[in-house]
Amino acid sequence: MEQYKQEFIEFMIDCQVLKFGDFVTKSGRKTPFFVNTGFYRTGAQLRKLGEYYAQAIKNTFGTEFDVLFGPAYKGIPLSVAATIALSEKYDADIKYCSNRKEVKDHGDKGILLGSPISDGDKVVIIEDVTTAGTSIGETLPILQAQGNVDVLGLVVSVDRMERGQGEKSALCEISEKYGFKTCAIVTMKEVIEHLYNRPYKGKVIIDDTLMAAINAYYEQYGAK
């Protein structure tokens, strides 16, 4: 596993973004782990998060694209942080763009904020965590309404590696349905590999008891 992935896993723990215990997802699944990107709360954290996203974006999509689109609301700071990091780390001047939930009818009118999107633009979508893939179905019509754009794919922070609408993972279903690449900074398999029975700051985060709960969860909800 690449060093930046290991660092990102520990970064999520430090920021209390990645937690283990008893949780319920939006879809109603009882889960022993939870990823809440709302816990990235400081400028330093967002700066670092942008760098991890930039690394994953460069590894999968390169830097020869035009727009990084972050769907409202959580995608807005992600797109800003990642485009700043792409500029600083790779000298890539990528435009950021997000949508408004409500169309603005005065001043800077329209549904978009940040850069406009034009015919021929190559676009990468950035999100936090995708579990069911429903948000992409809402995002693509917004992009397509701007013109003949080329959506290269989707990047998220964590691939939960559980079933989406069918038996495959949500990221795999999105890739197959829309015909573009998907990637994550880390997968839950990598998280487990890095933390299982391995102390971090003097504490074993995933012990045998928690590992049994994780295995039971994936037995029920894991992607095939």
At residue 155, the 3 state secondary structure works out as strand
Count Cβ atoms below 10 Å from residue 20 Cβ, excluding itself. Answer: 18
- Beta-sheet pairing, 30-35 with 18-24: antiparallel
Question: What whole-number distance in Å separates Cα of residue 171 and Cα of residue 159?
Answer: 7
Distance of CA 74 to the CA centre of its chain: 10
In this structure, what token pair is assigned to residue 173?
């279903």
In this structure, what token pair is assigned to residue 164?
């989406």
The catalytic residues are: 104, 106
DSSP state of 120: T
Torsion of CA 171, 172, 175, 177, to 10 degrees: -110
Distances in whole angstroms, Cα of residue 46 to Cα of each of 50, 51, 129: 6, 9, 16
| Cα torsion 57, 61, 62, 66: sign | negative
How many residues comprise the chain?
Answer: 224
Strand pairing partners for 1? none
Closest CA to 156 of 169, 143, 141: 169
